[in-house]
Amino acid sequence: MSTALARGPGSLSPAPLSPIESLAEALNVERRLLDELSGVVRRQRAAVATDDLDAVSDCVFATHRMLVTLREARSHRRSISTLIGLPGGHAGGGTDSLERALGARMTPAIRAARDELHAAARVLAREVATSRGHAASS
C-alpha cells in the first residue's frame, strides 16, 4: 500500500494513505510519467535533427520503458478505483468522468491531479504531433 510521511512534529513514521488519497497520488504519478515522456520526445526530436543515432536509440529504449511503466501505473490506478468502489475499476469511464463517478468523495486533490494529468497529456500530444510534422518534412 502507498505510504506518506506523517506530518506530525518530529514524526518520520509512515502514515498510510487513504484509498482516495492513493487515487490522487496515482494520478500524479501518471502525470509525472507523461511529463518525462514529453521530455524524451523532445530529446528524440533533437537527436533526429542532429543525426545522433545513439541518442535516437537511447530515446526509443526510454520511450518503450516509460510506456510499460505508464501501463503499470494505469493498472494501479484502476486497482485503486476498484478498491474505492468505482464500477469496473472505472476503466471505461476514464479520468474525464471521475467527478461524476466519485460524487461527494471527489476531493480538490483528485480534481487538481486529474486536471494536471489532462494538461500533461495535451503537452505530450503536441510534442508527438510536432515530431511527426518534422518527420514528414524530412
CA distance 135 to 9: 55
Task: Mention every residue, 6+ apart, whose C-beta is less than 8 A from residue 98.
Answer: 90, 106, 110, 114
Q: How many CB atoms lie within 10 A of CB 69?
A: 15
Mean pLDDT (the chain, rounded): 86
Q: Assign 69 a pLDDT band (cuts: 50, 70, 90).
A: very high
CA distance 12 to 54: 43
CA distance 99 to 127: 28
Stretch 20-40: mean pLDDT: 96
Task: Mention every residue, 6+ apart, whose C-beta is less than 8 A from residue 119.
Answer: none
pLDDT at residue 112 greater than cutoff 90: yes
